[in-house]
Chains A and B, each alone.
Chain A
């Protein structure tokens, strides 16, 4: 079974600075997808970014980029130029190509300070 590990329970970041959220995963399946979701206090899970296991380049979506290091089985999320609205819980998740079920990590709380 696949496993997602997020070791940072909480982080503080100054507005306009960048922050990196760590995520490591474990699977023996060669084909998988990695996701990051944002969950504000309102509770909705907002899709941020996706990286396929066979993608050669790191995924980017606006201020979000995914630092994918396949050999190390890590998929860290980088948020550049943090904004107050970025304060939320962030979840790393993985799905396998044969069933597409998402397995989530425990999450990291990000608090952006003015």
Chain B
């Protein structure tokens, strides 16, 4: 069974530019999460989707971050405009459904904002 796929793996941009990350969850997984992991810290949840609906985006900086999950499968996370403090690893995770607690993570996208 294929795992969670993410692209790109690495991205370097200048501040005020925009960037987008893509995630393809494990087949059949209804719930999808985006986490931000700043160097030296544990991941922090940005947004949670159940199928194509948002369950929780309370920690998403909505003035610059946006996310969507059209058709309830793939998801994209966008930052516009990027700030220096957005430099982090962005991790996507999925779980089978709300009753399945275990989340499986992708390899992450390492973002460096200069």
Measured CB to CB, the residues of A under 8 A from B are 4, 33, 35, 37, 42-47, 50, 91, 93, 95, 97, 99-107
Contact = CB atoms under 8 A, between A and B. Distances in A.
Given A35-B102, A44-B107, A104-B44, 9 more contacts: A35-B101, A43-B108, A47-B104, A99-B48, A99-B56, A100-B31, A100-B95, A101-B56, A106-B42
Q: Dominant SS at the B interface? A: strand
Given A44-B105, A44-B108, A47-B104, A100 B41 contact: no
B95 A43 contact: no
A10 B43 CA distance: 18
Contacts, number: 59
Contact of A101 (B42, B48, B108): B48
A45 B41 contact: no
A44 B41 contact: no
A96 to B, nearest CB: 10
A46 B108 CA distance: 12
B102 A50 contact: yes
Nearest to B9: A43
Which 6 A-B residue pairings sit nearest by Cβ, starting from the closest? A104-B42, A45-B105, A43-B108, A33-B101, A44-B107, A101-B45
Most buried by A among B91, B103, B106: B103
